[in-house]
Structures are given as C-alpha cells and as structure tokens.
C-alpha cells in the first residue's frame, strides 16, 4: 500500500520496555506497519524516553537521557512508539524538561510534532481502520491512563480491534481506571498498587474475555503479573500482536 | 523518595480495614457515577465550556485577590459585620476564642467547615468549656466517633450504617435505633434540632463569598447552615482567603458546577446567601456577624507555579476519581485534605518536610485533573512537587539518587544501556522459574509481593532487528 503514490518513511522508537522484555511486540509492530506500506527503520542508539527518572522527580537525569533520544531521531521524518505512556512522556514531559532552553526547547517541540503512538499512527495518519487481521477470540481492552487522558487516544485502538475478523470484542467495566502501575509507585507503595491492580483483574474476569489487550506494556506487565500470580488463564497481548494475527 | 514509616503505617492500617474500604468504594462509586450521569445530561461539549468558564472566573479572582478581598471586607463592614483577616490558623482560633469568651458562650453549633478542621477550632473551643455541636450529619457522626473527616464533602464516607447506629445509640436515651438509614436520619434530625434551640454562637463554613455584596454563600443538603445562620444571635463564618467570587453572576456558574461535580445534583438542596446582621425590621438573622478570613499558607502560593491550586472549590471530585484514595480512604493522607488535592495542598500549606511524600502517593494516572471542575493541573503539580523534593530540597533518597544517576549515565549511551541489560539477563537465572520471576531481593520483592514478573527473554528486540530488517531495501 502506498499513500498517494508515496511510501511513508518512519522510524521505530521501540521503547526500553519492549526492547528488554517484549521483543515479540516490537516484531509485530514492525510487521504490521510494513504490511501497511510504511518504510520503517530502527535508528541505532535509542534507549529509553526518560520517564522513570522524570516521574520520580529526577528531571536533570531524565533530560540527559532525553537529549540523547532527540539526537538519535534527529533525521527521522516520523517516529512511532508502541507505548502510549512513553509517547505521552515525549508529548508532555519533553517540552516541560526543556522549557526555556535556547537550543533544546525547539528540538524537543520538533520531536513532539513527529512522534505518534502506534494505533494513533495507523488510524489518524495512515487512515486505516482495518489491517486485515483475523483473531478468533473474545477480547477486552484496557484503556491506559496517559494514552487516553494525556494523548486523548481512546477510540483508535478499539476501532482497530473491532475490525479484526473473528474477534469478539467486549467492553471492560471501568476500562479507564488506572491499573495501579504508576512506575516506581508499584514498588514504593506496593500494597496500594496491589489493591488497585486487584480491582482491575476482577473487572477483567467479569468480562469473561480470553485475551486482555492494551497499548502500554508496563500496564500489561502489571496486570499480566497479577493474573499470572492468581493463576487466571487470561492472555495478555499488545494491540500490535493482535493486529499481526492471521495474515 | 523515602516513604515515612508513619505514612506507611497509616495506609497499611487503612488497607487492612476492609469494612472502611468497602464503605469508601461504595461512596466514591456512587458519587462518581452520579457525576458522570450529570455530565452526560449536560453534554460533553457544554460541560467543557462550563469548566472553561469556571476556570477563567477562578483565575481572574486569584489574580486580583487583593482587590476582591478589599471589596469584600468593605462590604461586610458596611453591612454591620466584623472582619478578622487571620494570617495563621492560630490567629483565627484566638479571634473566635476571644469572641466566645466575650459572649460567655456555652453552646456553639457549627455547620460544615473544612477550614475549621484545618485550624483545629473544635478542640480549642472545647478546652474553654464550650459545648460544640456539628450540625452537618456526616460531621456529627465523626464528631461522635472522635475522628476527623475522611472526605471533603462526605466526611463520614468511611463509616457504614451499622457503625453509625452504634454511635447514635451511645448518645440515645430512648429505644434502640435500628441500623436503617431512615431511622438514623430521623434520630439525627430530632437530636440536632434540640441543639439549635439554645444556640449562643453559630459557626458556618463558606462556599463562596461575594465581593460586591459582602454576602457569604453556604451550600448544604440538609439545611443546617440555614438554621444556624437564622437562629444564632452571633454568627461566625470561616473562609479560606481564596474563596471569593466577584458577584452573583459568577455564582450561578459555580453553584451548578459545584453540585454536579460533587454529587451529580443539578443544584445543592439549600443554597444560603447571608449578608450578616439583621437590619431594621427583619425577623431573623444574627445580631452580630463575624467573617474570619484565613490565610494559613495560601498567600505564599500567589504568583508561584502552584497558584492554580487556589482555584479549588472543594467539590471532592478528584478524590472520587483517584484510585489511591478509593483504596486507602482519607485518613491515611494524614492532614485535613485527602486525595489528589490533599497530596498537593498538604505539602504546600504545611511544608514539604511534613507532607512532601504525599506527592508520591499517586499513580500519576491523571484522573484528578480530568475530574477537576476548575481545571487545576493536579497531575502536573504532583510531578513538580516530586521535582522540588529532589532538586530544590535535596531530599531524594540516597539509594534512589544513586540509582537515577547511574541510570542516567547508562541509558544515555546505547552501548552502556545494552551492556547493562545483557548483564541483568545473564545474572537473572537464580530467580527465573518457568520463564517468570516470582521471588527476588529488594526492591523487586515489593513488585513480586503481588505479581509475577516475566524473565528477560533470550533475545532483546535490538538483537532480533537485523533478522527482521534483512529484506528491507535501504
């Protein structure tokens, strides 16, 4: 597929969590986007968006890493991230980190303007709502906080899911409630975090879904970790993995 | 950031109290649902406009606070009232103590006031020998239980009807009251009505003071503030210094927004506008009126990056939206205001040293700023407070300081980043069982207390990439 005869060039910012823990999500992201005709590269040198330090109050340390990331993607036309929270770190955190900096503020804004979350890129930029996947499962969707509230991406992932052949979509009650991850919150205040994720898991069980889908790997790691600990056989998948099925 | 053992004890106690948590989840759930329904009725677009107008009104007032305060004070004085502008909570308490002494007051009846909780008014008055009765049902319940409010608008949210029945039966001289809501309300009504009969001083809170008329607006669902203001010979209204509106025009917007955000009502049942002392032939109203305007840390926020927090109209909507609040209730936060607004206000009013850690009592999910009717960027403020704690106050935790310095050095260079995750993969084997980690040393032991963690895989994405990229034409 080409877009008006033009092949869209884009770069994958896979995020450290996908790089380290979920290579298969990165692979699906690449396959789905390439199938849609995107010429995708993976710029060397990329690491982490800086969110862990930023949300703990360590802005200097976050800025140090963020500068590196901005440099790595300097020549990219578009950047795609398979993570709503990391993309919102770019959109909201970067301008804040470099506010008033004569050199980096401008660069940060340029970076923001070319950065997209995965489902947002497919639906809003490519204009595609059906990627041609088939998945014969009952699926529910957790709407992660930063993606929905900070980036305003609510419908795009659900639209893509509902157009997957064979997929039985069921709404998750309180889908917009936080899963309790919150970065280091999940360790510093683990007892509260544990109570919050328990509510989320209970709601997932209520739906009777076989698969929980999300667009944020850290939320999925949190929810999946609780499901695993409770021995509940609900499979956890990133949206990209579902869109990569049956093609 | 180090979490103080005292805070840890408080929230762990809360988590263990399943009766309390059940009550809080039920209460917040109801309020949340009703608010959502109210917004649905108004329509999302109109609601957004409403919020924008309310935000603009509040911003305008805060930016011209000196001017509006002056106008308010002038008008209250003109209408025969007295004004105390108290810099601190102690000053405000001292003023009311003096007044009680002068009036030789025995019976003081209050309607709900969070500022009075903030300045610890009741214990001071009781110490003087006054009998202080809270006339708001929720406030009365927690007064009987000798507790503080756990929610800004539903102070006894943490109690269920059985607990309330026990508290009521302890002061009841008649037949035992059953734990049914209607019976409990009937008893409270009858008991509290008697208290109004021999009231010496009435104390009320204030939702909004109107600068151009000197009126105070008090919203209640029980009508108790109206009775207090009508029957008390001496009336005292306590307000935070930021709770002003220019005129009654703005009140229309704020009242409908306040009720919908707080409880989902179109309007609170009783909205009382009181202009102080009875004049001429008027049949009711106090003979003496005192407006106590409390600063207590507010003015130092003017002009700061946290100024917008003064927009707050105390609707409690951010509490209901907050997953942390819903799971630990209000008392665990430690000061008067709980939830996201409390996590921001407490360190700002009372000091970072004392309450700075509350900024970490949040998942940063952003539900609070979406819920806020006057669009306070609570979410951004929590980030800013964390940053202040680390960089301005140098109050990071040593382990965390070292971790993030090391992280920053490693993650800013690809080779070091890749080296460190390879090392982690190599040395994770003692912890891995069937592809996942269920037990481990601190700090991951905290994570593992409730959840498993996937083991680092055989191949990282960047190790898979060359294979994936084989067929791509450069």
pLDDT above 80 (res A21): yes
Cβ–Cβ gap B364/A226 under 8 Å: no
- B461 and A19 within 8 Å at the Cβ level: the answer is yes
DSSP characters over B68-133: HHHHHHHHHHHTT-EEEEESSHHHHHHHHHHHHHHTT--EEEE---HHHHHTTHHHHHHHTT-EEE
Tokens representing A82?
């398979």
Report the percentage of chain A scoring pLDDT > 70.
98
Question: Among A124, A143, A174, where does a domain finish?
Answer: A124
pLDDT confidence band for A2 (50 / 70 / 90):
low
Q: Of B265, B299, B333, which residue constitutes the final position of a domain?
A: B299
Confidence (pLDDT) at B474: 55
Determine, yes or no, domain membership for B168: yes
* d(CA A197, nearest CA chain B) in Å: 9
**A222 in a structural domain:** yes
In a domain, A102, yes or no: yes
Instruction: Count up the domains in chain A and report the number.
Output: 2
Residue A135 has pLDDT above 80, yes or no: yes
Averaged over A19-33, what is the pLDDT?
97
Which of B3, B369, B400 lies closest to A56 in CB terms? B400
A143 contact B CB<8A: no
| pLDDT score recorded for residue B283 | 84
Domain hosting residue A152, numbered range: 129-243
Residue B75 lies in a domain: yes
Domain contains A180? yes
Q: What is the CATH number of the domain that holds B222?
A: 3.40.50.10420
- Please identify, among A124, A151, A174, the residue that sits at the C-terminal boundary of a domain: A124
Q: Which of the two residues, B472 and B86, has the higher pLDDT score?
A: B86
Question: Which residues of chain B are within 8 Å of residue A89 when distances are taken between CB atoms?
Answer: none
**Who among B390, B452, B459 is closest to A228 (CB)?**
B452
Q: Please state the rounded mean pLDDT for residues B418-437.
A: 95
Q: Let me know whether A165 and A236 are in one domain.
A: yes
| Share of residues in chain B with pLDDT > 90 (%) | 90
pLDDT of residue B399: 82
Residues B371 and B261: beta-carbon distance below 8 Å:
yes
- What percentage of residues in chain B have a pLDDT greater than 70? 98
Chain A hits for B456, Cβ within 8 Å: 20-21
CB A42 within 8 A of CB B469: yes
Query: A150 at the B interface (CB within 8 A)?
Result: yes
Query: What is the average per-residue pLDDT within A5-12?
Result: 86
Residue A15 lies in a domain: yes
Asked if residue A238 and residue A139 are part of one domain, the reply reads yes
Give the list of residues 6+ apart from residue B25 with CB closer than 8 angstroms, or none. Answer: B326, B327
Mean pLDDT of chain B: 95
Q: How far apart are CA B344 and CA A143, in angstroms?
A: 26
The CATH number that applies at residue A201 is 3.40.50
Q: Please tell me the distance from the alpha carbon of residue A243 to that of residue A161, in angstroms, as a whole number.
A: 8
A208 confidence band (pLDDT: 50, 70, 90): very high
Would you put residue A177 in left (φ > 0), alpha (ψ -120 to 50) or beta?
A: beta
Q: What is the 3-state secondary structure (H, E, C) of B375-432?
A: CCCHHHHHHHHHHHHHHHCCCCCHHHHHHHHHHHHHHCCHHHHHHHHHHHHHHCHHHE
CA distance B301 to B306: 6
Looking at the structure, do residues A16 and A80 belong to the same domain, yes or no? Answer: yes
CB atoms within 10 A of CB B248: 14
pLDDT at B470: 86
Total domains, chain B: 2
Question: Mutate which of B451, B454, B463 to test chain A, going by most A C-beta atoms within 10 A?
Answer: B451
Mean pLDDT value across residues B246-272: 96
Contact A49/A89 with Cβ under 8 angstroms? yes
A19 to B324: CB separation less than 8 angstroms, yes or no:
no
Residue A3 lies in a domain: no
Q: Which of B141-145, B275-279, B404-408 has the highest mean pLDDT?
A: B141-145
B417 shares its domain with B276: no
Does the N-terminal peptide bond of residue B460 adopt cis geometry, omega within 30 degrees of 0? no
pLDDT reading at A33 higher than 90:
yes
Q: Chain A residues with CB inside 8 Å of B365's CB?
A: 145-146, 149, 178, 182
Domain co-membership, B423 together with B275: no
Q: pLDDT over 90 for what percent of chain A? A: 97
* Residue A2 resides in a domain: no
B417 and chain A in contact, CB less than 8 A:
yes
Closest A-chain CA to B452 = A225
For residues A43-53, give the mean pLDDT.
Answer: 96
Distance from CA of B39 to the nearest CA of A (A): 16
Contacts with B, A 35-94, CB within 8 Å: 39-42, 44-48, 50, 52-62, 64-65, 67-68
Q: What is the pLDDT of residues B125-166, one digit of tens each?
A: 999 999 999 999 999 999 999 999 999 999 999 999 999 999
Residue A65 with chain B: CB contacts under 8 Å: 407-408, 411-412
Q: Do A149 and A119 share a structural domain?
A: no
pLDDT tens for residues B26-61?
999 999 999 999 999 999 999 999 999 999 999 999
CB contact under 8 A, A65 and B367: no
Assess whether A37 and A80 both reside in one domain.
Answer: yes
- The helix/strand/coil state of B16 is helix
pLDDT band of residue B473 (cuts 50, 70, 90) is low
Residue B414 to residue A64, Cβ atoms within 8 A: no
Whether residue A52 is predicted with pLDDT greater than 60 in this model: the reply is: yes
Chain A residues lying within 8 Å of B413, measured CB to CB? 47, 68
Say whether both A220 and A150 belong to one domain. yes
pLDDT of residue B401: 87
Q: Determine contact: B365 vs chain A, CB below 8 A.
A: yes
* Cα–Cα separations (whole angstroms), residue B302 to B14, B61, B309: 35, 11, 10
Partners of residue B238 on adjacent β-strands: B292
Q: Are residues B419 and B285 in the same domain?
A: no
* pLDDT of residue B295 exceeding 60: yes
- The domain in which residue B458 lies consists of 398-468
Tell me: do B268 and B410 sit in the same domain: no
Whether ipTM tops 0.95, in short, is yes
A140, A73: one domain: no
Average pLDDT over every residue of A68-72? 97
CA angle A87, A90, A92 (to 5 degrees): 105
* Mean pLDDT computed over B362-379: 98
Chain B's closest residue to A44, CA to CA, is B414
Q: Burial of B18 by CB count in 10 Å (0-12 exposed, 13-18 middle, 19+ buried)? A: exposed
One domain, residues B96 and B242: yes
Q: B380, A48 in Cβ contact below 8 A?
A: no
Asked whether residue A139 is assigned to any structural domain, the reply reads: yes
Q: Which of B412, B414, B465 shows the shortest C-beta gap to A64? A: B412
Confidence at residue B400, expressed as pLDDT on a 0 to 100 scale: 85
Which residues in chain A are contacts of B381 at CB distance < 8 A?
A: none
* Same domain for A119 and A133: no
Q: In the listed set B243, B265, B299, which residue is the last one of a domain according to the structure?
A: B299
pLDDT range class, residue B1, cuts 50, 70, 90: low
Q: Which residues of chain B neighbour A186 with C-beta distances below 8 Å?
A: 446-447
More confident residue, A4 or A246: A246
Residue B368 lies in a domain: no
Burial class (CB in 10 A: 0-12, 13-18, 19+), A179: buried
Q: What is the pTM of this model?
A: 0.96
Dihedral (Cα; B395, B400, B403, B404), 10-degree rounding = -50
- In angstroms, what separates the C-alpha of B139 from chain A's closest C-alpha? 27
Q: Same domain, yes or no, for A90 and A173?
A: no
Indicate if the pLDDT at residue A1 is higher than 60. no
Q: Is A14 on the interface with B (CB under 8 A)?
A: yes
Chain B closest-CA separation from residue A161 CA (Å): 24
Nearest CB partner across the interface for A27, out of B367, B388, B464: B464
Cα distance between residue A133 and residue A146, in whole Å: 27
pLDDT band at B395, cuts 50/70/90? low
Does a structural domain hold residue B449?
yes
Nearest CA in chain B to A67: B412
Query: Domain for residue B336, yes or no?
Result: no
Q: Domain boundary at A90, A109, A124, which?
A: A124
Domain presence at residue B315: no
């Amino acid at each position: 597929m080409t877009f008006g005869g033009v092949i869209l060039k884009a770069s994958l910012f896979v995020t450290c969590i996908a790089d380290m823990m979920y290579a298969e999500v990165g692979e699906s992201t690449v396959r789905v986007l390439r199938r849609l005709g995107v010429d995708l590269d993976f710029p060397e040198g990329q690491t982490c968006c800086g969110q862990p330090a930023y949300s703990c109050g360590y802005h200097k340390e976050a800025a140090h890493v963020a500068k590196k990331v901005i440099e790595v993607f300097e020549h990219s036309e578009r950047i795609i991230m398979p993570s709503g929270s990391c993309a919102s770190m770019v959109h909201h955190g970067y301008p804040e980190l470099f506010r008033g900096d004569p050199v980096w503020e401008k660069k940060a804004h340029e970076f923001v303007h070319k950065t997209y979350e995965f489902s947002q890129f497919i639906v809003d930029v490519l204009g595609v709502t059906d990627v041609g996947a088939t998945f014969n499962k009952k699926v529910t969707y957790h709407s992660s906080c930063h993606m929905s509230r900070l980036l305003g991406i609510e419908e795009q992932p659900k639209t893509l899911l509902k157009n997957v052949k064979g997929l039985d979509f069921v709404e998750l009650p309180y889908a917009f409630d936080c899963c309790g991850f919150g970065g280091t919150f999940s360790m510093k205040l683990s007892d509260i975090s544990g109570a919050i994720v328990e509510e989320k898991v209970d709601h997932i069980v209520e739906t009777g879904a076989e698969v929980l889908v999300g667009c944020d790997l850290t939320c999925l790691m949190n929810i999946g970790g609780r499901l695993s600990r409770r021995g509940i056989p609900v499979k956890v998948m990133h949206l990209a993995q579902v869109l990569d099925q049956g093609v | 950031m180090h979490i103080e053992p005292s805070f840890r004890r408080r929230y762990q106690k809360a988590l263990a109290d399943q009766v309390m948590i059940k009550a809080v989840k039920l209460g917040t759930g109801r309020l949340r649902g009703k608010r959502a329904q109210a917004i649905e009725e108004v329509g999302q677009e109109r609601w957004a406009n409403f919020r924008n107008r309310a935000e603009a009104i509040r911003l305008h007032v805060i930016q011209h606070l000196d001017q509006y305060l002056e106008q308010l004070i002038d008008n209250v004085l003109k209408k025969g009232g007295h004004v105390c502008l108290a810099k601190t909570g102690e000053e405000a308490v001292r003023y009311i103590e003096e007044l009680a002494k002068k009036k030789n007051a025995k019976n003081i009846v209050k309607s709900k006031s969070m500022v009075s909780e903030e300045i610890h008014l009741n214990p001071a008055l009781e110490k003087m020998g006054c009998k202080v009765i809270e006339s708001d049902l929720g406030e009365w319940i927690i007064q009987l239980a000798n507790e503080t409010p756990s929610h800004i608008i539903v102070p006894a949210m943490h109690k269920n009807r059985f607990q309330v029945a026990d508290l009521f039966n302890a002061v009841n001289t008649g037949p035992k009251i059953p734990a049914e809501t209607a019976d409990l309300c009937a008893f409270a009504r009858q008991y509290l009505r008697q208290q109004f009969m021999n009231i010496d001083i009435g104390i009320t809170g204030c939702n909004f003071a109107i600068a151009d008329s000197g009126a105070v607006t008090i919203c209640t669902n029980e009508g108790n503030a109206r009775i207090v203001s009508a029957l008390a010979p001496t009336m005292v209204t306590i307000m935070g210094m930021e709770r002003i509106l220019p005129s009654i025009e703005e009140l229309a917007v704020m009242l409908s927004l306040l009720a919908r955000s707080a409880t989902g009502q179109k309007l609170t049942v009783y909205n009382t506008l009181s202009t102080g002392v009875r004049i001429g032939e008027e049949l009711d109203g106090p003979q003496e009126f005192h407006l106590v305007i409390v600063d207590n840390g507010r003015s130092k926020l003017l002009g700061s990056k946290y100024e917008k927090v003064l927009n707050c109209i105390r609707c409690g909507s951010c509490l209901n939206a907050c997953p942390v609040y819903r799971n630990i209730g209000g008392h665990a936060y430690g000061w008067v205001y709980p939830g996201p607004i409390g996590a921001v206000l407490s360190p700002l009013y009372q000091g970072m040293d004392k309450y700075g850690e509350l900024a970490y009592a949040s998942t940063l999910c952003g539900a609070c700023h979406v819920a806020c009717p006057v669009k306070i960027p609570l979410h951004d403020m929590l980030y800013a407070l964390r940053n202040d704690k680390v960089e301005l106050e140098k109050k990071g935790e040593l382990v965390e300081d070292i971790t993030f310095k090391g992280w920053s050095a490693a993650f800013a260079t690809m080779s070091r980043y890749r080296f460190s995750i390879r090392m982690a993969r190599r040395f994770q084997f003692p912890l891995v069982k069937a592809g996942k980690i269920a037990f481990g040393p601190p700090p991951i032991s905290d994570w593992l207390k409730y959840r498993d963690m996937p083991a680092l895989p055989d191949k990282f994405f960047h190790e898979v990439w060359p294979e994936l990229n084989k067929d791509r034409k450069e």
